[in-house]
Amino acid sequence: MAYRYRKLRGIARDETNIITLHLGNGCSAAAIRAGNSVDTSMGLTPLEGLVMGTRSGDVDPAIVDFIATKEGLSIGEVETLLNKQSGLLEISGLTSDMRELLDEEREQNDRRARLAIEIFCYRARKYIGACLAAMNGADAVVFAGGIGENSWEVRARICDGLQWAGLELDDTRNRVQTGERLISREGCSLAAYVIPTDEELLIARDTLRCVLEAPNRY
């Protein structure tokens, strides 16, 4: 995402100061300053950080013992609960699929579906604020992943409330559904982009670079 962003902007690597939000069934935020990742929402495992499809994201560590005692579960079982039976799935009581939750909210006015979406977006917005503080500001927020690339509604909800940071989405641009693109208004001090990920291509490039560099290591 950082590579494509700087190519789109025509800037050097050390001029790349962005916050990336990869939002899908798994989610993460990263603070990228001068082209280097300096912070991430994930910790020892992907469980830390944003609310995800079935992962809780950040929780008070005391919750583990509390649930284990109250429900008679082992620590391993609580970890499984937090990884596979929490997040959007548990909050909504319906599904971990954001598309289905948005449909439920729109068509049935389901309050738990709405709560799951609101918490998901709030936590993403909260991490953008944390990254801005950690980086001493950024030039852009970049969305990717199944939700980040395809859900204009989620992007709009996440960015609503970030006007203080200079970010305002352009509704028409945000609703476009394909390609790498700017989705914020012209002149925003904090821009927003959608840049689809291509993990397979990046792995192939990294593999090629390692092979080409290998003879020089010995």
Q: Are 31 and 131 in contact (CB under 8 A)?
A: yes
Taking Cα atoms as reference points, which of 133, 127, 183 lies closest to residue 155?
A: 183
pLDDT of 201 > 60? The answer is yes
Every domain of the chain and the residues it spans:
2-217
Extract the runs of DSSP E, i.e. beta strands, from the chain.
18-23, 27-33, 36-40, 140-144, 181-182, 191-194
Q: Give, for 12, the enclosing helix (H) or strand (E).
A: none
Looking at residue 150, its pLDDT comes to 95
Rounded Cα–Cα distance for residues 147 and 132 (Å) = 22
pLDDT digits (tens, 9 = 90+) for 96-114: 999 999 999 999 999 999 9
Superfamily of domain covering 2-217:
ATPase, nucleotide binding domain (3.30.420.40)
pLDDT digits (tens, 9 = 90+) for 177-195: 889 999 999 999 999 999 9
Taking Cα atoms as reference points, which of 173, 167, 168, 169 lies closest to residue 190?
A: 167
Q: Are 145 and 24 in contact (CB under 8 A)?
A: yes
Rounded Cα–Cα distance for residues 167 and 183 (Å) = 10
* Helix/strand number for the chain, H first, E second: 10, 6
pLDDT of 68 > 90? The answer is yes
pLDDT of 218 > 60? The answer is no
Looking at residue 175, its pLDDT comes to 96
Q: How much is the pTM? A: 0.92
